[in-house]
Chains A and B, each alone.
Chain A
Amino acid sequence: MNIQHHLQPETLMAYAAGTLPAAMALVVGCHAERCSQCRKELRSAEALGGQMLETVAAKPLPEAARNNVMALLDQQPLPERAPASAVASTQGDDSFLPKRLKSLLGIDNYNQLKWRKLAPGIEKFNLPLDEGKSFMLRIGAGLAMPVHTHKGAELTLLLQGGYHDKLGSFHMGDVADLDSSVEHQPVAFDDEPCICLAGMDAGLRFKGLIPTLMKPLTGL
Chain B
Amino acid sequence: MTDSVGESVDARHWISCMEQVASQRDKQSFMELFDYFSPRVNAYLLGMGVDSGLAEDLSQEALLALWNKAHLYQPRKAAVSTWLFRVARNLWIDRLRKQRATVYELDDEYLEAGVGAEDPEEDTGALDADRIQEALDALPRNQAQVVFKAYFEGKSHSEIAADTGMPLGSVKSSLRLALQALREKYGENV
Chain A residues in the interface with B (C-beta under 8 A): 8-10, 13-14, 16-22, 25-26, 28-29, 36, 39-41, 43-62, 65-66, 68-70, 72-73, 76-77, 79, 82-85, 99-100, 103-104, 129-131, 152, 179, 201
CA distance A16 to B88 in the complex (A): 12
- Report the minimal beta-carbon distance from A79 to chain B, rounded to whole angstroms: 5
Total residues of chain B contacting the partner, CB 8 A: 88
The reply to whether B27 and A70 contact each other, CB–CB distance below 8 Å, is yes
User: Is the beta-carbon distance between B39 and A9 smaller than 8 angstroms?
Assistant: no
Give Cα A9–Cα B176 distance, bound, in whole angstroms: 6
The smallest C-beta distance from B7 to any residue of chain A, in angstroms, reads: 15
Query: Which B170-187 residues have a C-beta within 8 angstroms of A?
Result: 172, 175-176, 178-180, 182-183, 186
* Chain B residues closer than 8 Å to A65, beta-carbon distance: 38, 56, 59-60
Contact partners of B172 in chain A: CB under 8 A: 8, 10
Most chain A CB inside 10 Å of its own CB: which residue of B67, B92, B156: B156
- Chain B nearest Cβ from A132, distance in angstroms: 9
Instruction: Pick from B72, B123, B133, B154: contact of A19, CB below 8 A.
Output: B154
B9: interface (CB < 8 Å):
no
Partner of A17, one of B38, B67, B113, B154: B154
Q: Choose from B35, B152, B158 the contact partner of A52 (Cβ within 8 Å).
A: B152
| The residue from A36, A152, A201 contacting B121, defined by CB atoms under 8 A apart | A36
Contact of B69 with A by CB under 8 A: yes
Residue contact B104 to A25, C-beta cutoff 8 Å: yes
List 10 A-B residue pairs with CB atoms under 8 Å apart, sorted by A's residue number: A8-B172, A9-B175, A9-B180, A19-B154, A40-B121, A43-B78, A47-B78, A53-B81, A53-B85, A61-B39
- Given A61-B59, A130-B99, do A50 and B83 touch, yes or no (CB 8 Å)? yes
